[in-house]
């Protein structure tokens, strides 16, 4: 069985809340407000060698007046072209979940006292270079009550884990550009191809000038590009020095600069976007 959760176009939020139930698609935000669990860190990007055990800790904080009861398990996941993720309780082909051990499957958390939940990954000694990906799923044992909704909702959080086993790395290259509508606004997009063996992300800022001659600063979305895939990455325009306030772009817009990826990779950009 699979579940799908929306991911932000500006990034890949590793702690992903899923609201499940008859009315989940219309009241997900309300369900989230009723799910009193904070998770840290939001994502794990680990490295290991074949035969080497890696241990990590997820810090869970139950923000309620009474103790919270939770169920935990692992799941496989697939990142879709529309920036959503499918979670699967069944093992997908090539799954590395058999290498994963979690501390326990049932947990009660005292309010106000963070619980350090442990998990470990042990790739077999004969594992070839690869990227292991899975999720640690955390589900409330009591349905989340949404005010004004007769159907109780189940809420889950998925913490995404990447483990680079051996010598793997992304290789990102520019495969094209376009202008697409994102949340009702025309947005410049870079088409990025990953020919490497691990996921990658773009980082950094570009300089832009729009049709009115206004100087802009554009930040690339941190959405991950999986090995072997090509994905459209949004460029969010801001006023120079103000990364908190997005601005509308007046096309055409010219964008130049360099974006970074991986440890040493860089991607020169010199593009003109027109509608």
pLDDT digit string (tens) for the chain, length 275 residues: 433 333 333 333 334 444 332 222 222 333 333 458 899 998 999 999 999 999 999 999 988 888 889 999 999 999 998 888 899 999 999 999 999 999 999 999 998 889 999 999 999 999 999 999 999 999 988 665 545 544 444 578 999 999 999 999 999 999 999 999 998 999 999 999 999 999 999 999 999 999 999 999 999 999 999 999 999 999 999 999 888 888 888 999 999 999 999 989 999 999 999 99
**What integer pLDDT is reported at residue 83 of this predicted model?**
84
How many residues are given for the chain? 275
| Assessment of whether the complete model's pTM goes beyond 0.85 | no
**What integer pLDDT is reported at residue 250 of this predicted model?**
93
172-273 has CATH 1.20.120 classification: no
- Residue 131 and residue 129: Cα distance in Å, rounded? 7
Q: Are 263 and 206 in contact (CB under 8 A)?
A: no
Give the DSSP H or E segment for 33.
helix 28-33
One of 2.60.40.1180, 3.40.50.12280, 3.40.50.720, 2.60.40.10 is the CATH number of 2-165, namely 2.60.40.10
- Residue 121 and residue 54: Cα distance in Å, rounded? 5
Candidates 65, 23, 32; CA nearest to 156 is: 32
Ranges of each domain in the chain: 2-165, 172-273
- Residue 111 and residue 243: Cα distance in Å, rounded? 35
Q: Does the fold of domain 172-273 match that of domain 2-165?
A: yes
């Amino acid at each position: 069985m699979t579940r799908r959760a929306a991911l932000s176009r500006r990034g890949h939020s590793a702690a992903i809340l899923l609201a499940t139930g008859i009315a989940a698609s219309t009241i997900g935000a309300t369900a989230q407000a009723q799910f009193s669990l904070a998770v840290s860190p939001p994502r794990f990007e680990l490295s290991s060698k074949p035969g080497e055990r890696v241990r990590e800790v997820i810090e869970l904080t139950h923000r309620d007046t009474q103790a919270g009861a939770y169920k935990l398990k692992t799941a496989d996941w697939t990142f879709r072209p529309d920036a959503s993720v499918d979670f699967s309780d069944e093992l997908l082909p090539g799954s590395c979940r058999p290498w994963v051990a979690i501390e326990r499957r049932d947990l009660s958390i005292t309010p106000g006292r963070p619980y350090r939940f442990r998990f470990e990954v042990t790739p077999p000694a004969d594992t070839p270079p690869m990227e292991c990906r899975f999720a640690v799923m955390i589900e409330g044992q009591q349905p989340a009550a949404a005010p004004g909704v007769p159907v109780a909702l189940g809420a889950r959080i998925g913490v995404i884990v990447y483990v680079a086993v051996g010598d793997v790395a992304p290789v990102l290259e520019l495969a094209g550009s376009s202008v697409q509508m994102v949340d009702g606004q025309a947005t410049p997009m870079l088409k990025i191809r990953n020919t490497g063996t691990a996921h990658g992300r773009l980082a950094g800022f570009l300089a832009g000038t729009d049709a009115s001659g206004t100087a802009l600063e554009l930040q690339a979305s941190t959405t991950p590009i999986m090995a072997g895939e090509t994905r459209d990455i949004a460029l969010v325009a801001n006023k120079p020095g103000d990364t908190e306030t997005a601005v509308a772009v007046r096309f055409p817009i010219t964008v130049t600069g360099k974006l970074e990826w991986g440890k040493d990779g860089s991607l020169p950009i010199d593009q003109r976007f027109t509608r």
